[in-house]
Each structure stands twice: as structure tokens, then as C-alpha cells.
């Protein structure tokens, strides 16, 4: 019996993973990777950190965990997989089961036969239809050649001003890399906020941080045109008519599935533009699988098809496609909760599942949210701040999503909530979660467990919260609430809102109730640094007859607006 011929189109993340898994399943299969670029198995998520100077050896973007560069020789010698680099696939002939390829070095063309084909053609960056797009100095950050270009700019130190178009993951990470390289950077986002995977008030914390690092921020203002002289970029014009001078512009307004080959071959394409696959990663052609950024997959909470271009998902999907290409359809990829995280200077921002906005948009009507601000570790272990927003179903308690930002261990928090969602856990399940504890790693009650406690109290009606945006709107209205700050006097002197709040330390509150507004029906908002004491103060007031007491969720650490100190 002839050895099975498996061709993989695409050599970034999903492709090499699929080929490697296929080899582990069948030592004798004839496996070939076709890659248009000169490089293979690139750690594309590492590009911003190479540009930013976190490491200087370019080969580290291409290395195996053992430190060996994954080039054609590596795949041939270590895995017995042929890799044709700088080779472009021009077409797929599904009838004769061949692909037509062109060697970009020699110009020679040939047909390669397959028994099973795996498409991992990735995604392509979105380019806006604006004037000046062909000027020198405009780039994306999609491929390793883009990373090389931006790293060269960093090292040459000739560019002094740059603009990043887009406030998503790549845009934020690129902005940091350029700013750390000493380039004055502006970031332009057409939407009202950065990082669309966060709710507005959580994203605003990120925006405030970015501004504090010297970045010029423009939200709700899109790109209108690029300006240049002598074929070189000199600046950009925004929708509102304002101009930003720059010698470099990085387009980071999103990506779309690279479906050209699949579409021309007659494979089914989904509504998102991604190649349609089932849970086996099988396309509408039973002899063709697909994985990575070129496909669409199921969202585990909504059941809808989504395009989720994440490097970890590409590897998981490639593994499934590679095994099924050899063994038949025996393993599956269930879908995504769209879990993601990014570094933003000394902060991180992460998410999993649904935001409040996306939950409502997808028909979840009776939802409840809570914001928790607290440290990731005890103060004596140099604990750092975390701000988490949790989204749950009010009736069932099912966890729908979580967002976390801060300088603390955001990754751990997002991972906990991602697994809770995958396991279909409820708030009740999480309030007694048995997580690892020791002071160097966690509080006795981990931040995630404390967040679940707050949510449980809110669902039971014990915690009547108010978020910072709602409170700000009420403070600006004709009938502002009575504000009660229950921190210590030294804390108040160091930091305060300065909007007419009354300071009564929690320990003195029971003796000083007469100083609180005696209209027992007037809305009172209690808070402290993180509102732990604020919650206790609210309970004291309610026990003494006040009927309209609320707690500022996240306390002063979640406050988004200017304050007196």
C-alpha cells in the first residue's frame, strides 16, 4: 500500500503543528509543507517584543523549545517532513487532487498530488481605502518581514514620530514597542474605546494607563488620509480634519481570513469570511481540512460562528486537523470562548467569554455584573492591583464572561475564569473553589474567589452596587447622591475625589451616624480604596434604617475620571 500523501499549505502556526501531529500518527506518510515566506513556524505573537527590544536575537522567533531554528532542514531531519519555502500555491484542483505551485526563487511551476490536503493559509491585514496608502513609511505587523522592517526602524533611530492606526491587540502591543524604543507614538481608534473585547469602563482603565506613558491618544476619530512628500509619509489626516505629523504609520485595524485559494477551489465559506469547517476541522470537501486564522469556528457560549485569529487556537486546531488527516475523524475541536490577553506597559488586559455588551447583544437578557478591585497577593508580598469585571446569568448563576486588567497576575485570573466557563460552572461553584494558596502566589481568598463572593452577594440582593460610569453621571445630574468615603484620614489626604464627599472612617461610623444625611430615602454611595470597607459601611447604614444605600464597585481603584488628588 502506497504511503499517504499529505500536503499542508501554510507554514506559520497551524500548518507546522498539523504536519508534526500527522507525522507522529504515521511514520511513513509523505508529508510536505508549502510556505510562501522564507521562514517557518514563526512565533508571530512575539513580533512586538522583538521590535520593542525585549530580546535581540531574531532566531528566537523561529526556535523550538530546545532552541533549534525550525527551518526546512529542521523539519526534514527531525521530523522527516519536507518544507518547500518561498513557494506559492496558485490553485487547488479538487477533481484530480493536486495543487499547482510556483517556486518564487526560480519561477518554476509544478503540480503536487495529495491524498489529504490541510489549508492553514492564515489571515491578511485589513487595509483602509484611503489616499496615500502607497507612501513609504506605512506598514502592518502581520508577517516576520513587517517585524524586520519595524525592528530596523527601531535600531536606526531615525524615526522620531509614529502613529498606530487601531486600538486592538496588535495596535496596543505595537504602540508599546514603539514608545519603548523612544519613538513618540500616537494611537488612533475609530471606536469609543481601545480593546473591543473589554467593556467600556474596563477599557478606559487601559486608555488612562496608555496616556500616562506619554502616548497621544485619539478615540472616536478615524483615519481619513495619509499625507506625504516625495513618496514618503509625513503625517496622517483624521476624520475630524486634524493632522498628526509622523514618519511611520502602522496599520492595525484588524485581519480577515485568507480564503482566496479555498474560495477559488469551491470550498464552502462561512458568513465571517472564514473557511467553513466542522468539529473535525474538515471542510466541505472530505479530503481537505483547514485550521488557524483562515477558518471560522463555534463560539461556545452563543453557538454562533466567529473568526478567532489567536495563535493558541491555531495550534490546537492544527493538532486536530493533523491527527484526523491520518487517523480519520477521531478527535474534535469544540470551539472557543475567545480568551485573550495582552501586555500594555506594566499592565495586562485579558478577557474570556462574553462582555456585558456582547452578552446583551447575543440575547442574554437577565444578566448581572460586578466589578472587584483587589491585590493579587498580600501587601507584604508586594501584591499588585487587579480589576475584574464578572458577567453571569442572574437566574442560573452561570458564568458568562470575565475581564481583568492591572499590573497584577491577570493571566492567572483569566485562566481561572476561562476554565470555569469551559466547565459550565456557576457562581455557587466558584465561591468555594479550592485553589492553591500561599502568600507568594495569592491571597488566602484568591481575587477570583472574592469576585465570586461579590457576585453571589449581588445576586442575593445583599450588595447593591453602582459602577463608576453610573456614579459619574449621577454626580453630574441635578440630584447627586450623598457620597460616604470610609477610609482613614491619611488615605483621604493622599488621594480623594474632591466632589463633596463626607469622610467617616469605617471604625467611627457607628458613633457618627448623625453626620450622615438623615433623609433615610436619599441615595447614599459608600466606598473606600477597593470598596471592601464600603460594603461593610453600607450594611451598617441599612441596619440603621437607610433604605437606598449603594456601594461603588471597585472603589477608587476603578475610578476613571479626574479627581482632586
Mean pLDDT of 191-218: 96
Q: Confirm whether 298 is domain-assigned.
A: yes
CA-nearest of 84, 83, 112, 110 to 96 is 112
pTM: 0.95
User: 129 in a domain, yes or no?
Assistant: no
Q: Which of 206, 227, 253 is the endpoint of a domain?
A: 253
For residues 242 and 286, state if they share a domain: no
**Per-residue pLDDT band at 75 (split at 50, 70, 90):** very high
Residue 185 lies in a domain: yes
What pLDDT is stored for residue 2 in this prediction? Answer: 81
pLDDT band at 1 (very low <50, low <70, confident <90, very high): low
Handedness of CA 495, 454, 444, 426 (dihedral sign): negative
Q: How confident is the prediction for the chain on average, in pLDDT?
A: 96
Question: Would 118 be classed as within a structural domain?
Answer: yes
CA Rg, the chain, in Å?
27
Q: Are strands 216-219 and 184-189 parallel, antiparallel or unpaired?
A: parallel
| Domain coverage including residue 106 | 5-122+256-327
Kindly state the cell numbers that stand for 188. Answer: 488612533
Domain identity same for 396 and 455: yes
- Nearest residue to 121 (alpha-carbon basis) of 291, 270, 316: 291
The average pLDDT across 143-162 equals 95
Q: How many structural domains are present in the chain?
A: 4
Query: In terms of domains, do 301 and 363 share one?
Result: no
**How far, in Å, CA of 15 to CA of 310, rounded?**
14
Dihedral (C-alpha) 249, 255, 259, 261: value to the nearest 10 degrees? Answer: 30
Report percent pLDDT > 90 for the chain: 98
Q: Is the pLDDT of residue 273 over 70?
A: yes
pLDDT tens by residue, 517-540: 999 999 999 999 999 999 999 999
Q: What pLDDT does 177 receive? A: 95
In a domain, 487, yes or no: yes
Asked if residue 565 belongs to a domain, the reply is no
Nearest in space to 282 (alpha carbons), one of 297, 261, 263, 300: 297
pLDDT band at 195 (very low <50, low <70, confident <90, very high): very high
Amino acid at each position: 500500500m502506497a504511503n499517504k500523501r499529505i500536503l499542508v499549505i501554510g507554514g506559520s502556526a497551524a500548518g507546522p503543528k498539523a504536519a508534526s501531529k500527522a507525522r507522529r500518527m504515521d511514520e511513513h506518510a509523505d508529508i510536505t509543507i508549502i510556505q510562501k515566506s522564507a521562514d517557518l513556524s514563526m512565533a508571530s505573537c512575539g513580533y512586538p517584543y522583538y521590535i520593542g527590544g525585549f530580546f535581540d536575537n531574531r532566531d528566537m522567533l523561529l526556535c523550538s523549545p530546545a532552541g533549534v531554528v525550525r527551518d526546512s532542514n529542521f523539519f526534514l531531519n527531525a521530523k522527516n517532513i519536507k518544507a518547500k519555502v518561498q513557494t506559492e500555491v496558485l490553485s487547488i484542483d479538487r477533481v484530480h487532487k493536486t495543487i499547482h505551485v510556483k517556486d518564487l526563487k526560480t519561477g518554476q511551476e509544478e503540480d503536487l498530488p495529495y491524498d489529504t490536503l490541510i489549508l492553514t493559509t492564515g489571515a491578511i491585514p485589513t487595509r483602509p481605502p484611503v489616499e496615500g496608502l502607497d507612501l513609504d513609511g506605512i506598514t502592518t505587523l502581520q508577517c516576520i518581514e513587517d517585524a524586520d522592517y519595524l525592528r530596523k526602524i527601531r535600531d536606526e533611530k531615525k524615526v522620531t514620530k509614529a502613529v498606530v492606526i487601531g486600538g486592538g491587540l496588535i495596535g496596543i502591543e505595537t504602540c508599546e514597542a514603539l514608545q519603548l524604543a523612544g519613538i513618540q507614538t500616537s494611537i488612533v481608534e475609530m471606536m469609543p474605546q481601545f480593546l473591543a473585547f473589554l467593556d467600556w469602563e474596563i477599557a478606559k482603565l487601559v486608555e488612562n494607563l496608555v496616556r500616562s506613558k506619554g502616548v497621544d491618544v485619539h478615540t472616536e476619530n478615524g483615519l481619513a488620509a495619509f499625507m506625504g512628500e516625495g513618496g514618503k509619509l509625513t503625517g496622517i489626516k483624521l476624520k475630524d480634519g486634524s493632522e498628526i505629523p509622523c514618519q511611520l504609520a502602522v496599520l492595525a485595524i484588524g485581519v480577515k481570513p485568507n480564503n482566496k485559494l479555498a474560495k477559488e477551489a469551491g470550498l464552502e465559506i462561512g458568513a465571517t469570511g472564514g473557511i467553513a469547517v466542522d468539529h473535525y476541522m474538515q471542510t466541505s470537501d472530505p479530503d481537505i481540512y483547514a485550521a488557524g486564522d483562515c477558518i471560522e469556528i463555534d463560539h461556545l457560549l452563543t453557538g454562533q460562528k466567529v473568526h478567532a485569529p489567536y495563535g493558541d487556537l491555531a495550534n490546537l486546531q492544527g493538532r486536530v486537523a493533523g491527527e484526523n488527516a491520518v487517523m480519520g475523524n477521531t478527535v474534535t475541536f469544540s470551539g472557543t470562548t475567545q480568551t485573550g490577553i495582552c501586555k500594555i506597559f506594566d499592565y495586562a488586559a485579558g478577557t474570556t467569554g462574553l462582555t456585558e455588551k456582547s452578552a446583551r447583544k447575543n440575547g442574554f437578557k437577565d444578566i448581572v455584573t460586578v466589578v472587584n478591585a483587589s491585590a493579587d497577593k498580600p501587601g507584604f508580598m508586594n501584591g499588585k492591583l487587579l480589576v475584574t469585571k464578572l458577567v453571569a446569568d442572574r437566574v442560573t448563576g452561570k458564568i458568562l464572561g470575565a475581564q481583568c486588567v492591572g499590573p497584577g497576575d491577570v493571566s492567572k485570573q483569566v485562566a481561572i475564569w476561562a476554565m470555569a466557563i469551559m466547565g459550565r460552572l456557576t457562581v455557587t461553584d466558584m465561591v468555594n473553589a479550592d485553589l492553591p494558596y500561599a502568600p507568594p502566589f495569592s491571597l488566602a481568598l484568591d481575587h477570583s474567589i472574592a469576585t465570586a463572593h461579590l457576585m453571589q452577594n449581588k445576586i442575593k440582593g445583599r450588595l447593591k452596587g453602582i459602577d463608576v460610569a453610573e456614579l459619574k453621571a449621577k454626580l453630574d445630574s441635578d440630584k447627586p447622591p450623598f457620597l460616604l468615603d470610609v477610609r482613614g484620614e491619611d488615605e483621604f489626604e493622599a488621594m480623594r475625589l474632591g466632589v463633596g464627599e463626607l469622610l467617616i472612617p469605617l471604625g467611627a461610623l457607628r458613633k457618627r451616624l448623625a453626620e450622615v444625611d438623615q433623609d433615610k430615602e436619599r441615595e447614599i454611595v459608600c466606598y473606600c480604596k477597593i470598596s471592601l470597607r464600603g460594603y461593610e459601611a453600607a450594611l451598617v447604614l441599612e441596619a440603621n434604617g437607610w433604605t437606598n444605600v449603594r456601594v461603588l464597585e471597585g472603589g477608587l481603584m476603578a475610578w476613571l475620571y479626574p479627581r482632586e488628588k
